[in-house]
Amino acid sequence: MFQSFDVTSRPDQAAPRVTALRQEMSEAGLDAFLVPRADAHQGEYVAPCDERLAWLTGFTGSAGFAVVLKGRAAVFTDGRYTVQVRAQCDPKIFDYVDWPGTSLGGWLLGETAEKIGFDPWLHTIREVEGLRQMIAGGGKELISTGNLVNKIWTDRPARPSEPVATQPFDLTGKTSEEKFAEIGDAVAAQGAEAVVLTLPDSLSWLLNIRGSDIAHNPVVQAFGILTVTGRLMLFDDATKYAHLGPDPRISVLPRAAFGAALEELTGRVLVDPGSAPFAVKTMLKHAEIIEGTDPCILPKACKTPEEIAGSREAHLRDGAAMVEFLSWLSEQMPEDLTEIEVVKQLESFRAATGKLKDISFDTICGSGPNGAIVHYRVTDDTNRALKEGELLLIDSGAQYQDGTTDITRTVALGDPSAEERAAFTAVLQGMIAISTARFPRGVAGGHLDALARAPLWRMGRDFDHGTGHGVGAYLSVHEGPQRISRLSMLPLEEGMILSNEPGYYREGAYGIRIENLIVVQEAPELTGADPRDMLSFETLTWVPIDRSLILADELAPWEQDWVNAYHEEVWDKLKDRVSEHAKTWLRQAVAPV
């Protein structure tokens, strides 16, 4: 199994750990200390050795942070984790703060703490400078210090050190040499002579390598300094690269040497303030810093034809595995299964393809009220038996060498209620609206987000997560900068892969989400259209949608046509890829609504 169901932290562990941290704060002369979810690479997912927030608080979500003061502590996280954070954190120790509705700076201004400590490797330049500006004049001082959690975490795991693997040209469509030249030109265009790279997926993409430093994300955690002349200093454990042989372009140096290299760097250096640790800025003592976006991010997001072709094949393989799973699930008595058993069966069907490298994230398998926990992760403690008449939300994905998948299907375990069918149909309408969107070049994800929410808004409802995130090509399942979210004003471009996943969650009752992956393409010609440069989406995910949850009469004729055409294409693409037994189920599952 790629997924563990162990309970990695418990609420009752927090009290002695917070007490120990406060002792360290006192010795350091601090009134408060910030504990972010982030590591030095600012990725969404972190290695076990960097799980400081979970270790201290018990909260295992992928976004949030804690602030520990002398007499109070709080965990800040967004609407995706409202239920989870209250279940995982001891309310006697931690207050819950809705973030970003409440800003850290505003919250600190209301507290008496004056000297606020932070680890400069775990906060970005933009984050630190923004916070300093917010609390300026409030009698507060941000103080850069060593990591105090590290001092009390006596059994902290070691840093990952597994060997890297190369990603072949037929799946990347660009050689590493071509990428070096492309990024070098982009750096030079911004007036810099070198760039500091700290994002794992940027370096993995640039070097056409994949690693296993982060669970379920095939990236390498390293730091890099790339010059416009095509030389790269890579700071990591050299043993991970020894089997690749020497490369005259690349010098692999110890991770600990990164700080000294920054201090010795001269000239004009490009740094991304949104991803580089604040420590990078303080160590560039002799260089002229040019702030700009990591130049690997946008080229990485715009997939090559080879990457898109690989993703199509990965999704067909994954779709067949999902059909085998859903066929199996349809024959089970709900009461005979638990959430963990469902997760194990789904992984086994993917493993049976012979191509599974890993899952792309811990499967979210929430039955009944657990489905309302947006990023629910089943553990031995929370594992719940399925029940007839409930909904089962399954959000899962796989890492294959030719592509990364991410799919959500909500399944009725028996006869759904009218309320559940109405909510499901509204969510489906939102997903169809994004799937069929046709939009001018220059339109951003923030412009499209409302299309997915409008059917729910008409019911006085909404969901507290973005409609879509970017997805990598055998890289991180959550990839920027592309998003379908009201927060994103980045224009969408051809080759960007995104999720399309509206949902609805009734706390304590059920959760609904439907998710396909889509890729931005040049819009097909349309008779009678203006001569405008338009884009649209190609669907990548091909798995049936539970027809028992659809109120067909609530769908417009064109929406019914979309569902039926989608299901017919699912049949055409998968009928020869599944077992005869699953094929019988599939034929029924794709019948017209």
Q: What is the pLDDT of residues 436-479, one digit of tens each?
A: 999 999 999 999 999 999 999 999 999 999 999 999 999 999 99
225 φ, ψ to 5°?
-125, 110
- DSSP labels, 331-383: TS-GGG-BHHHHHHHHHHHHHTTS-EEEESS--EEEEGGGGGSTT----TTT-
Q: What is the pLDDT of residue 207?
A: 98
Question: What would the two tokens of residue 424 be?
Answer: 């499901």
Confidence class for position 575, pLDDT limits 50, 70, 90: very high
Report the C-alpha gap between 160 and 359 in whole angstroms: 18
- Mean per-residue pLDDT, 250-255: 96
Question: What would the two tokens of residue 425 be?
Answer: 């149909």
pLDDT tens column, 55-81: 999 998 888 999 999 999 999 998 888
pLDDT tens column, 152-195: 999 999 999 999 999 999 999 999 999 999 999 999 999 999 99
Angle at CA of residue 330, ends 326 and 335, nearest 5°:
115
Q: What is the pLDDT of residue 137?
A: 87
* Close Cβ partners of 110 (under 8 Å, ≥ 6 residues apart): none
The DSSP output letter for 49 is G
pLDDT tens column, 506-532: 999 999 999 999 999 999 999 999 999
Q: What is the pLDDT of residue 84?
A: 86
Burial class, 246, CB count within 10 angstroms (exposed 0-12 / middle 13-18 / buried 19+)? exposed
Report the C-alpha gap between 375 and 19 in whole angstroms: 29
Q: What is the pLDDT of residue 79?
A: 82
Amino acid present at 493: E
513 φ, ψ to 5°?
-150, 140
Residue 415 near residue 387, CB atoms below 8 Å = no
Report the C-alpha gap between 445 and 449 in whole angstroms: 6
With 90 as the cut, is the pLDDT of residue 11 above it? no
Residue 14 near residue 58, CB atoms below 8 Å = yes
Provide CATH 3.40.350.10 ranges for the chain: 11-152, 165-300
Block residue for tokens 């077992």: 579
Q: What is the pLDDT of residue 588?
A: 98
What's CA 105's distance to the chain center, in Å?
A: 26
Report the C-alpha gap between 341 and 577 in whole angstroms: 25
Question: What would the two tokens of residue 546 be?
Answer: 């539970």
Please name which of 200, 133, 192, 195 lies closest in space to residue 164, comparing C-alpha atoms. 200
Superfamily of chain region 165-300: Creatinase/prolidase N-terminal domain (3.40.350.10)
- Mean per-residue pLDDT, 416-428: 98
Provide CATH 3.90.230.10 ranges for the chain: 302-583
Element containing residue 410 per DSSP (H, E): strand 407-412
According to the CATH classification, is domain 302-583 in 3.20.20.70? no
With 80 as the cut, is the pLDDT of residue 9 above it? no
573 φ, ψ to 5°?
-80, -30
Name the architecture of domain 11-152.
3-Layer(aba) Sandwich (3.40)
Question: What would the two tokens of residue 227 be?
Answer: 């010059």
Beta strands in 37-184 (DSSP E): 65-69, 73-77, 95-98, 115-118, 141-144, 165-166
- Mean per-residue pLDDT, 95-106: 93
- Mean per-residue pLDDT, 247-260: 96
Q: What is the pLDDT of residue 170?
A: 98
Residue 204 near residue 220, CB atoms below 8 Å = yes
Q: What is the pLDDT of residue 246?
A: 87
Confidence class for position 12, pLDDT limits 50, 70, 90: confident
Q: What is the pLDDT of residue 268?
A: 98
* Close Cβ partners of 299 (under 8 Å, ≥ 6 residues apart): 179, 182, 183, 186, 205
Report the C-alpha gap between 279 and 273 in whole angstroms: 11
With 90 as the cut, is the pLDDT of residue 44 above it? no
What percentage of the chain exceeds 70 in pLDDT? 100
pLDDT tens column, 109-158: 999 999 999 999 999 999 999 999 999 989 999 999 999 999 999 999 99
Whole-number CA gyration radius for the chain: 24
Average pLDDT of the chain? 96
Task: State pTM to two decimals.
Answer: 0.94
Burial class, 434, CB count within 10 angstroms (exposed 0-12 / middle 13-18 / buried 19+)? buried
Angle at CA of residue 371, ends 498 and 358, nearest 5°:
50
